[in-house]
Amino acid sequence: MSPQRKPQGSVLLTGFAPFGGETGNPSWDAVNSLDGEVVAGHRIVARRLPVAFDDSLRELNNHIDAVRPALVLCVGLAGGRSRLSIERVAINLIDARIADNRGAQPIDRPVIAGGPAAYFATLPVKAMLAALGEAGIPAEISQTAGTYVCNQVFYGLMHALSARGDAGVRGGFIHIPYSPAQAAHHAGAASLAIDTVAQGLRVAVDTALATTLDRRIAGGAEH
């Protein structure tokens, strides 16, 4: 039997704590289920972020410093969506419809004062979309990550990677639907099993690590 190959590097996956009155968050459940797995020669390191404007970016940056990943993929819950939503763009805006877990509700505030209006994900979003479709996992490209903590983390991630000059470290964000257990309390809401989400994240990470030049396929929207 040949010896197991040592992982070439790490991938940082983050999920979130529960928020908005929910008792769980499938973004963390799915990410945590992958902790320690090796995908495309890289070991997955899962970390949970708080749903708190004052703490989320500080903790994310601490995790990046500690893990020194080759790739960062943040994952968050978007109840009401029916597919894995691969986010394309993060905007420099916080406009909280609800308070965070510490009671803060900033309105019309930048994520980073003086920062660019927006950042694009540096992951191969179209290749990831195609790979997820081939794997039978419902997915889409999303043009908005909202204006809550998920967008703040996505923008803050891309700003941090840009500021560090970590040209070789790519980053992005995926929103996921409710879990079936959550959807049972939200009439008519779509859901995806946590195992399906976890498999989708495996496919997304594998594709991102293996793809340098993104595919040129349609993934836009009319509205």
Question: What's the burial of 113, exposed, middle or buried (CB within 10 Å: 0-12/13-18/19+)?
Answer: exposed
Which of 42, 74, 87, 159 is the catalytic position?
87
Count CB-CB contacts under 10 A for residue 13: 28
State the Cα angle at 206 between 30 and 121, rounded to 5°.
Answer: 80
Q: Parallel, antiparallel, or unpaired for β 42-49 and 71-77?
A: unpaired
Separation between Cα atoms, residue 24 and residue 4, nearest integer Å: 35
Number of neighbouring beta carbons within 10 Å of residue 185 = 11
User: Is 74 a residue of the active site?
Assistant: no
- Active-site residue among 42, 63, 74, 150? 150
Catalytic residue among 175, 186, 222, 223: 175
User: Does the active-site annotation cover 42?
Assistant: no
Q: Is 37 marked active-site?
A: no
* CA–CA distances in Å: residue 184 to residues 18, 35, 84, 192, 212: 16, 27, 19, 12, 40
Active site residues: 87, 150, 175
